[in-house]
Every structure is written in C-alpha cells, then in structure tokens.
C-alpha cells in the first residue's frame, strides 16, 4: 500500500532558536566556543579539499542578503544571512541567519538549523582561533569597540580560547556599552566601560572592531594604533563598509579567510588589488608564517566565510544527537515510488462528498 505521507522516511532534523539556546547551555557557552574554534581550525587545515566560492550577495540601500555555500565532497552546506545596519532602530537584528547541511551522495538535507545565534558563536570562535595564532604572547586585555549583538560572544571566545582576562568596552551608544557590561558581569572577565575608542585601547594587546555602519567608517585611525597589537576587524564586511583607516592597513601584516571574497568585502577593498595578504589556513597548515615579531601589527580582516558556517553546522550535528533538541521537519516530498510524485499528491486529495 503506497503511503499517503512520507513522514516515516525523509524527515529533516531541525534545530530551532529555542533548542539552540538549550544546546548552548547544555554544552556551556565557553566549552561550545572552544569546540567551535577547534572544528573551524580542523576544517581550515583541510582547506584545499573544499569547494570554495565568494558568497552570492544581493545588495540594497538598506543592507545585503547573502548565500554562503561550500562542500567537502561528502557534506554540502549553505547559510542564508542578512546584514542590515539600520535594523536595530526598528527593533530588528542587524544579522539573522539559518543554514543547512546535506548529504553529497544523494543530495538529501541532513540538518536545518537556526544560525543567528550560531553565526555570533562561530564568528567569535573564528576570531579567537585567529588570535590564538596571531596575537602577541601573553595578550590578556582586549579593546572591544562596538558593543552590539556580537560583542559578548567575541569577548567570551577570546577568554575561552586565548585566556583573555580583561575587556575594555566602547560603543557610541552608552546603552549598548552598559548592556554588554551587564551581560559580561560574572563571566570572570574584568569589564571596563570606556568613553572613547582611544581610552578603550589603553593597555590592550588585542583590538576588536565590531561596529555596524554602511559606510567607509574610521573606527581606528592610523595614529591610534601602536606597534605590537593584534587587530580583529569584524564589522568591515561589505563593499563600501569598512572600519579601519588605510594607514593602519599599510602598517599591518594582513591575514584573511578567502582573498577572492575579502578583496571585495573586507578592509582590504581600500588597498590595491595585489596588496600582499596571507591566507589564515596557510598559517594553520604551517605553509605561511603568522606573527613574526613582537613589534608587528597583525590584522585579521574577517568577513566571514562559508567554511566557518559548515564547521559550525558540523559541530551542531555532532553534538545535538541524543539531546532531544531537534524537531523532525516534513520538508522533503519522498514518495515510495520515486517516479510517482503525482500519485502521492493525488492520493492526498480530500475524499469527495
């Protein structure tokens, strides 16, 4: 008897926002950030194996909507993500996302997940993974400029992965600084709210810029940046949307995810197209040097790359099993006779009379 409904066969596990929050607390925020950093680093080490393409971006005056696909030959993944800097004024998130993993062998999805929280976690884990290799030895103080949705995640990842002890917060909106200070109270970090970016940078060996503004902004000007620091530049991630003065870039050793994407979207869109940069995966694979001197300024020009989302989804897939934190979604039509899609539809017609 052909079945009316395919539900015993092709259900797709789905992790909702509510269940993602439960999963993060089940694992623990800091252990999860450490785990994500390790998964991302492991995938960066096998970088050459992946299908890579700059993300497909649809720009508007208000923001951008992007698709970020990749595959390691066995598993395919993609993320849908937006970036709308003015959204917060309407009570909406600047960045929201969801993503999917699929079996390359038959194309069937194996996981669908919320990725707004997961993007904040993976972006922070990627920052910390890069800082673990590039920040000066013994770095324990970070200036966090921009105290929006990403900021606590960035701070906690640096603590969990790099041993950060103190974070100096600055946002042009004092309410955002106060929110981040509140959220980080009890985290074990010493949190210092600061009235200016300059004050926030005093004594910091790591400087994270994580602001949102759709313009060529100057969060860090050349004279603000001393030698020997590591800059983790998160907010410059779209054409026409940057945070650092070109003079800072000229003095820094620049590390990127995927140059083809970063040259369009990152801080380095302000430089000549052949300005030398180092790919982060090569540092991890040992084929390119990371920091080579105490006086060097290292810059991780982060824009976010598909492999990081793939790693994050892989982590969730591996850890969510047995927790009861998935819902099974009926999102694939899968008739018993694969060629009888129409028959399955016809049998689902309401009975006459």
Binding residues for ligand NAD, rule: CB under 6 A, are: 83, 88, 94-95, 119, 123, 145-151, 170-173, 176, 210-213, 217, 219, 234-235, 237, 302-304
For residue 75, what are its two tokens? Answer: 């598993």
What span, in angstroms and rounded, lies between the C-alpha atoms of 87 and 93?
6
**Which C-beta is closer to ligand NAD: that of 219 or that of 325?**
219
Measured over all CA atoms, what is the biggest interatomic distance in the chain, rounded to whole angstroms? 83
Angle, helix 174-184 to helix 151-162, in steps of 10 degrees: 40
- Residue nearer to ligand NAD on the CB measure, 83 or 136: 83
Tell me which of 43, 51, 61, 237 is the catalytic residue: 237
Least distance CB 84 / ligand NAD (angstroms): 9
Residue closer to ligand NAD by CB (options 72, 213) is: 213
Q: In Å, how far are 59, 220, 321 from 152, measured between CA atoms?
A: 28, 20, 27
Q: How far is the CB of 171 from ligand NAD (least distance, A)?
A: 4
Q: How far is the CB of 312 from ligand NAD (least distance, A)?
A: 11
First to last CA, the chain: 23
Residue nearest to ligand NAD (CB): 148
Residues sharing a CB contact under 8 Å with residue 112, sequence separation 6 or more, in sequence order: 12, 13, 14, 15, 98, 99, 100, 329, 331
> Shortest distance, CB of residue 150 to ligand NAD, whole angstroms?
4
The single residue listed with the structure tokens 């003065």 is 245
The tokens describing 194, both together, are: 């600061």
Q: Are 165 and 190 in contact (CB under 8 A)?
A: yes
Nearer to ligand NAD by Cβ, of 26 and 216: the residue is 216
Is 237 considered catalytic here?
Answer: yes
Nearer to ligand NAD, 83 or 290 (CB): 83
> Other C-beta atoms within 10 Å of 25: how many?
10
Q: Give least dist CB 293 to ligand NAD, A.
A: 26
Q: Tokens standing for 140?
A: 């324990």
User: In angstroms, what is the minimal distance from the CB of 303 to ligand NAD?
Assistant: 5
* CB-nearer residue toward ligand NAD: 149 or 320: 149
Question: Tokens 């785990």 — which residue?
Answer: 35
How buried is 87 (Cβ within 10 angstroms: 0-12 exposed, 13-18 middle, 19+ buried)?
Answer: middle
**Pairwise CA distance, residues 192 & 108, whole Å:** 48
Tell me which H or E stretch contains 265. helix 259-265
Instruction: Provide the CB-side half-sphere exposure for 272 (13 A, CA).
Output: 4
Q: In whole angstroms, give the CA distance from residue 64 to residue 121.
A: 21
Q: Which residues are catalytic?
A: 237
């Amino acid at each position: 008897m052909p079945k009316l409904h395919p539900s015993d066969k092709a259900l797709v596990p789905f992790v909702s926002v509510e269940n993602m929050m439960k999963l993060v607390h089940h694992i623990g925020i800091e252990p999860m950030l450490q785990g994500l950093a390790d998964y991302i680093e492991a995938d960066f080490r096998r970088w050459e194996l992946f299908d890579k393409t700059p993300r497909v971006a649809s720009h508007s005056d208000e923001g951008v909507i992007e698709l970020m696909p990749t595959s390691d030959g066995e598993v395919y993944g993609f993320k849908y993500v937006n970036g709308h800097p003015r959204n917060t004024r309407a009570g909406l998130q600047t960045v929201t996302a969801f993503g999917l993993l699929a079996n390359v062998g038959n194309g069937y999805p194996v996981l669908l997940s919320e990725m707004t929280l997961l993007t904040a976690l993976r972006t922070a884990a990627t920052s910390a993974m890069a800082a673990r290799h590039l920040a000066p030895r013994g770095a324990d103080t970070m200036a966090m400029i921009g105290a929006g949705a990403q900021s606590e995640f960035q701070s906690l990842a640096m603590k969990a992965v790099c041993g950060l002890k103190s974070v100096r917060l600055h946002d042009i909106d004092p309410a955002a600084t106060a929110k981040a200070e509140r959220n980080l109270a009890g985290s074990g970090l010493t949190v210092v709210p600061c009235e200016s970016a300059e004050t926030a940078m005093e004594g910091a060996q790591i400087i994270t810029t994580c602001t949102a503004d759709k313009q060529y902004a100057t969060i860090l000007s050349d004279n603000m940046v001393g030698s020997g620091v590591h800059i983790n530049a998160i907010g410059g991630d779209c054409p026409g949307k940057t945070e650092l003065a070109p003079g800072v870039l000229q003095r820094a050793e620049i590390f990127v995810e995927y140059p083809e994407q970063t040259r369009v979207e990152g801080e380095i869109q302000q430089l000549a197209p052949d300005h030398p940069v180092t790919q982060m995966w090569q540092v991890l694979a040992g084929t390119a040097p990371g920091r080579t001197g105490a006086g060097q300024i290292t810059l991780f020009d982060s824009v976010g790359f598909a492999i990081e989302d793939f790693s994050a989804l892989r982590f969730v897939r591996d850890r969510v099993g047995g927790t009861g934190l998935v819902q099974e979604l009926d999102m694939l039509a899968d008739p018993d006779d694969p060629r009888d899609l129409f028959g399955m539809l016809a049998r689902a017609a309401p009975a006459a009379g």
